[in-house]
Amino acid sequence: MRWRRYGTDAVLLECESLEQMAAARATIASASLPDLVELVPGARSVLIAARPGSKALDEVRALVEAADLSRPPAADPREITLDVRYDGDDLDEIARTAGIGVDEVVELHTGAEYTVAFTGFAPGFGYLTGLPEPLRQPRLENPRTRVPAGSVGIAGEFTGVYPRSSPGGWRLLGRTGAVLFDPRDDRPALLAPGDRVRFRSVS
């Protein structure tokens, strides 16, 4: 791990792995420090921003350095199941690339339990880890100019759902009708870091 300065009131904790990042994030989040302004997980890092003039960054550092990151705090993660119609435009190509049948792609994707590692790209877009190896495939060479809201895709080590229609380069498995982000809701994002997610096939 390495602490990198990020301006006057923030620090970037660079981690060795996604697992270490998740453990560090959970450790910091569980302390509920009042002077933390933002706690932003990334693929291999956690960005921590504190109220100017507070001691929060020192507290975070002490907390992380004292923690056993191989055993992150026992959180009580939210569990979310998303119903998906597996009829995505790239389903056949995903199966071909994996060297398996379309049915097996669906079985693999619905059989795994995922964790929201971090968010970005758009409000409510979660990068979900736990993707079975055969489904770890590169992005499309030519990203689409428009991916419809609710599209479920894969890219690299992640799977995720487009909260709204946008350009995108992920390979598309199917679509869910779930609302991923609603800024007027008390819980605006369906998926937050640390949440557990499963996909269920519906026709």
Q: Which stretch binds another protein (CB under 8 A): 34-42, 96-104, 145-153, 171-179?
A: 34-42
Site for another protein in 3-32 (CB under 8 A): 4-10, 12, 14
Q: Which two tokens stand for residue 195?
A: 């949440």
Q: How far is the CB of 96 from another protein (least distance, A)?
A: 26
Q: How far is the CB of 151 from another protein (least distance, A)?
A: 16
Site for another protein in 143-162 (CB under 8 A): none
> Are 201 and 110 a contacting pair, CB within 8 Å?
yes
Nearer residue to another protein within complex by CB, 35 or 107: 35
> Are 39 and 29 a contacting pair, CB within 8 Å?
yes
Q: Measured on CA atoms in the order 133, 134, 135, 141, is the torsion positive or negative?
A: positive
Q: Within its chain, how far is the Cα of 70 from the centroid?
A: 20
> Are 42 and 21 a contacting pair, CB within 8 Å?
yes
- Is 34 a binding residue for another protein by CB under 8 A? The answer is no
Judged by CB under 8 A, how many residues of this single chain contact another protein?
Answer: 38
What is the SS3 string spanning 9-26?
CEEEEECCCHHHHHHHHH
Please name the amino acid found at residue 29: A
Site for another protein in 100-139 (CB under 8 A): 118-125, 127
> Are 83 and 53 a contacting pair, CB within 8 Å?
no
Nearer residue to another protein within complex by CB, 79 or 87: 79
Which residues of this protein are in contact with another protein, per CB under 8 A? 4-10, 12, 14, 37-47, 49, 52, 118-125, 127, 181, 183-184, 188-189, 192-193
